Amino acid sequence: MNDVSLFIPCMVDLLMPEIGESVFRLLRRLDKKPVYHEEQTCCGQPAISSGYNAPAIEAAKHFISIFENDDAIVSPSGSCVYTVKYDYPKLLADDPAWLKRAEGLSNRVFEFSQYLVDVLGLSDVGSVFDGKVAFHESCKNLRGLGVSDQPKQLLQGVRGTEVVPLNGAEICCGFGGAFAVGYPEISEGMVKDKSTSFIESGADRLILSEPGCLLNVSGYLEKHHPEKWALHLASFLMESQEGGD
């Protein structure tokens, strides 16, 4: 199975394309052939979380039509993977034909670190970083997909890197999609706590596996602590590749 289909979320496509580029480049270094379907659009997660089922169903059917013949679909966003794996069957429960297609696709969609560790059996992807990193547990990855050990294994496989504990690593950063828009004061308090934990950990980098969390935390750090960096796991692994690209 050399072909790998890339499922690139809207936030990455529009705001953080370097994450998608890192996934693409790293998979190529691992002798995989990344394939990108240009006709892909939003998976429907914002519509689902806002209660707009009709456009969400339309997005789900479009997604399934594009990806259902692919052997493996990999995304750098666990929340979007969760949408496809678990929300689509609920959305399409009253349509037996589409439900069957959704269920047939769900077991072939993987979060980025999940694919590297659980499918490819990797923990060392050839990265080197002389410093300390801390890891934030994104809510949908941890509680939705059960993805927690996989990114840590990849970080521990980076030569020269010390993975240090992050106080409250499993606590939400305050993004939560529409939550940050509807409750900005609470969201800012939560991301402040997360950033403080990162600074107090003594880590040089905060690593995250979810684009929404990264957008939230990196935005706060840039404003209040510009000397501190947060990175998506894919970007960190790619930027610290031994011998360059």
CA distance 114 to 129: 22
pTM (two decimals): 0.93
Tokens in use for 26? 């790293």
For 168-188, the pLDDT digits (tens) are 999 999 887 777 778 888 888
Q: β-strands 73-75, 205-208: how paired?
A: unpaired
For 23-63, the pLDDT digits (tens) are 999 999 999 999 999 999 999 999 998 889 999 999 999 99
Query: Where does the chain hold its CATH 3.40.50 domain(s)?
Result: 122-239
CA distance 122 to 198: 27
Tokens in use for 30? 């691992």
Torsion over CA of 210, 82, 60 and 27, rounded to 10 degrees?
60
Question: 122-239 belongs to which CATH class?
Answer: alpha beta
For 175-232, the pLDDT digits (tens) are 877 777 788 888 889 999 999 999 999 999 999 999 999 999 999 999 999 999 999 9
- Report the 10 Å Cβ neighbour count for 240: 21
Tokens in use for 209? 């596996």
Answer yes or no: are the C-beta atoms of 232 and 211 closer than 8 Å.
yes
Average pLDDT over residues 85-97: 97
Give the SS3 label for residue 83.
Answer: helix
For the chain, percent of residues with pLDDT exceeding 90 = 88
